[in-house]
Structure 1
């Protein structure tokens, strides 16, 4: 049987008639234990003439182990404070009268102090820090937005300077660790042996592709192993792979093992070209739009060798000009290995989309001679340029190799 309804009369009590107003309080780290009763302090704004500031309140609480602070204004205040009016009703069960009071809502946040850090006194604060405290406590919305914008810019600037410092330090390191007699330890061009008697011994594919990376490439290189003329024609129509890659896939050996090895080399070359082809907008993304299906081990190896962290907080990466030159040198050397150290530069230039002068400079930087000849008239009489690696290897002076070189795009 339902209980009979009771009539309740409401009586609004104006704030000026209340000596101790009720408060709504919640703690961000959960409920306090019964044996941890806090001591409260309640502070009101003394600027009663200012309509915007006279209702500001600060509530502090202190327990044996923690201090808490809550405000009904500013960034730490509940969002509803500016949109809602909070009221509390106190019911007298005997008379059936409920008194309704205006109240404020506080979200109590813990204040953590580092015991090992010397606290700043007010006298130690700079003029700007003192002004920021005043704006945070009593400033208008416009001044607070300006202050928050300035502080955000300061944080971003400090983060950028830290990231740039880390990037410069990373770039200055020489990641290659070469082995063997009398090898040049230049970090821009791949590991090489100056005293090699054959071109294939100058730049060895094992120095570019580690055994672990080669094993990872086998899983994705199968698409080239089984490629038919129809597949190649479709890829060319769709623009799925670069000109150089499609031309190499069209001339695959018949031997099964040699076919797989060549397919792995071509796939690695494709990953190098794809990394170089990333646009400015791509580098601003958290996940770089690299070819789908790229093995994680290969991706980590390429990003570790040719990029640096640009934004540690968002895991973004960047490719400084020196590392881009390094990537271009690796692309040229990988092309030399695939084409038996006689590389046709025409397709490479189309894929890289860089100036001819820069391509020639980088080609000579890895020790190649460039031979040019007029092509057949059936192909618009295009000049064919062939990079050949002579023996013995002669590299340009390492301090003047890139001097005066314009960065073509």
Structure 2
């Protein structure tokens, strides 16, 4: 190693099995005080195909301190300060977490987490008009399906409008429609206009439920060519979250988006069935846990009751039903601490 007033040089002959010619590194800045006390790391490029990189060596860790320019030394100090700052921050966060756990206790923290989960659900509910004078005005139909979307539903819903009783009975075997829709098809109105309206709502509800089964959306038309373009666009825009994965932007149906879809399905089902719906039936169609469905229903201010299921669909078991009626009940989120038993 040679050192001068403002220059230094270092020659390297390679490893024991390295037959390459000597590598000379020259520093034009700084002075080495002790050539025997010098720490360094040598990095060799792994790219052997690129002629510009296969001979590249990088020499760093104490070299910057000894020979680096002022700009390089400032950058080194900045990196060290950031490292110290991150370590200090991590220690502070850990201490804060320990203090919170010590002060509130694990049970309270679990209760707070449950409350946060319910509040998150409420962020994705359809617009709720609490001052409404009628149940149909609490979750307005036009907030669920716009006039343009409603118009576009006429063509695909025609298949449901024209179903005969015999064809409806065969649908469960085909597994082409969800249980809630199949049950509602058994009581289609005779009036042509009302029948058409219900068919459009049922077709859209069935599409929403099937859309909720997806995870990552890779197509612009996720529900296929038979689904109107405006409906496909609505699903992508309103019920997916953007995510960045492997250099690509993707549309994802996250847990919060699943909750949002469920809330819109519940609101639409209320309009379809005179504002009382079988939540158990919808819960199974949506492939949700019962507690999740009930949390969403309560957040939507439904009154929950229990009674036997409809004929042919769990008639021998209790189902949970949700009713939208005025005045709206106050929202009491579940998941809080259980009441302590009174001591005798």
1:369 aligns with 2:284: no
2:231 to 298, 302, 305: 298
Shift of 1:230: 2.9
Establish whether residue 383 from structure 1 lines up as the match of residue 298 from structure 2: no
Name 1:276's counterpart in structure 2. 212
Question: Normalization by structure 2: what TM-score?
Answer: 0.59
1:275 deviates by 1.2
2:155 is equivalent to residue 216 of structure 1 = no
Please say if 1:192 is aligned against 2:128: yes
Contact 1:349 1:356 in 2 (8 A): yes
Secondary structure of 1:370 counterpart: strand
Structure-1 separation of matches of 2:319 and 2:172 = 22
1:392 matched to 2:327? The reply is yes
Q: Which is helix-richer, 1 or 2?
A: 2
Provide closer, same or farther for how the CA distance between residues 336 and 375 of structure 1 changes in structure 2, counting only shifts above 3 A. Answer: closer
What does 1:36-75 align with in structure 2 at a 5 Å threshold? none
**2:173 is aligned with 1:233:** no
The answer to whether structure 1 residue 359 and structure 2 residue 274 are counterparts is no
- Per-residue CA deviation, residues 93-146 of structure 1 (Å, 9 max, x unaligned), is xxxxxxxxxxxxxxxxxxxxxxxxxxxxxx9xxx99x96598643539xxxxxx
Following superposition of structure 1 onto structure 2, how do residues 26-175 of structure 1 map, counting pairs within 5 Å?
136=50, 137-139=52-54
* Structure 2 unaligned spans of 5+: 1-16, 22-28, 30-39, 56-121, 337-344
The equivalent position to 1:324 in structure 2, one of 258, 261, 264, is: 258
Which ranges of 4 or more aligned residues in structure 1 deviate by more than 6 Å?
none
**1:40-74: CA deviation from partner (whole Å, max 9, x where unpaired):** xxxxxxxxxx9x999xxxxxxxxxxxxxxxxxxxx
Q: From the superposition, tell whether residues 269 and 291 of structure 1 become closer, same or farther in structure 2 (CA, over 3 Å).
A: farther
The Cα of 1:346 is off from its aligned counterpart by 2.6
Q: Please give the root-mean-square deviation of Cα atoms over the aligned residues, in Å.
A: 3.6
Shift of 1:294: 0.9
Q: Which residue of 2 aligns with 1:201?
A: 137
Q: CA deviation at 1:309?
A: 2.1
Shift of 1:259: 1.0
Distance 1:314 1:229, change over 3 A: farther
Change in Cα spacing, 1:227 to 1:320, as seen in structure 2 (3 Å) is: same
Tell me: CA distance 1:285–1:303, structure 2 relative to 1, closer, same or farther (3 Å).
closer
Instruction: Spell out the pairing of 1:235-250 with structure 2 (5 A cutoff).
Output: 235-250=171-186
| CA 1:335–1:259: 2 relative to 1, 3 Å | same
State the structure with more CA Rg.
Answer: 1
Closer/same/farther in 2, CA of residues 365 and 228 from structure 1, 3 Å limit: same
Q: In 2, Cα distance between the equivalents of 1:376 and 1:210?
A: 31
Partners of 2:242 and 2:174 in 1: how far apart? 33
The corresponding residue for 2:242 is 309
**TM score, norm. by length of structure 1:** 0.50
User: Counterpart of 2:273?
Assistant: 339
Contact kept? 1:286, 1:314, Cα under 8 Å: no
Which of 1 and 2 has higher RCO (CA within 8 Å, sep 6+)?
A: 2
